[in-house]
Amino acid sequence: MEIRRGRDYQRQVFINCPFDGKYLPLLRAIVFVLKACDYVPRCALEADSATEVRVEKILRIIGDCGLSIHDISRTQLDRSSKLPRFNMPFELGLFLGAAKLGSARHKAKGALILDVEPYRYQKYLSDIAGQDIRAHGNDPGAVIGHVRNWLNTHSSANQVLPGKAALVKQYRRFQKQLPVMVKALRLKEAEISFVDWSKLIGIWLLEVAKV
């Protein structure tokens, strides 16, 4: 596999997904496959500053990223408000708008759209009909396969990405070794943030590469 380090535009990937505990296994799988394939995961969780309005932060990250992953599966009503959350479709719209109306660089943006079931999106977001939506069934392994195959369509001609089976196996190895890493770094697994997770994967991949 060709290794290309750096934070260039076409290797930065904006992740737009739910941030709750139920979705966490899928988010962590997405971040792992991005890092393993030498892409840079980006999302609103990477910076916590009271000086920046959330939508401005999202727009800034979208502007930095040539690629994006959008999971629009969270459509159920909130238990307290009895209303759905529209953050994910909204951020998808921002990204697609940047791709259609932005400068020449932004017109080259690419997006992967995920949902839990095939064709379900047609009932609540019919305006994206014609897009290639991938269903994951809440399975981290399926997510890894979809993200890997999508990245493969955007990778350079001389870059060969590992297959789904190899990436799933690698991710399981990382998960088994994670408790030892966390203990050595004096962290608790419950404390691991998005930034921590990305760094831990990067450290582990560098150690694996030495073997």
Task: Quote the CA–CA distance of 74 and 105 in Å, as a whole number.
Answer: 30
Ranges of each domain in the chain: 9-210
Share of the chain above pLDDT 70, in %: 91
Burial call 42-52: b when 16+ CB within 10 Å, e when fewer: bbbeeeeeeee
Q: Which residue has the higher pLDDT, 1 or 120?
A: 120
* pLDDT, tens only, 148-184: 999 999 987 778 899 999 999 999 999 999 999 999 9
Predicted pLDDT of residue 3: 38
Predicted pLDDT of residue 174: 97
Task: Quote the CA–CA distance of 191 and 182 in Å, as a whole number.
Answer: 10
Predicted pLDDT of residue 41: 97
pLDDT band at 49 (very low <50, low <70, confident <90, very high): low
Architecture of domain 9-210: 3-Layer(aba) Sandwich (3.40)
Q: Which residue has the higher pLDDT, 42 or 127?
A: 42
C-alpha pair distances (Å), 46 with each of 61, 165, 195 = 10, 29, 6
* pLDDT, tens only, 81-92: 777 778 888 999
pLDDT band at 127 (very low <50, low <70, confident <90, very high): low
Q: Which residue has the higher pLDDT, 73 or 158?
A: 73
**Whole-number average pLDDT of the chain:** 88
Res 77 pLDDT > 90: no
Rounded mean pLDDT, 20-44: 96
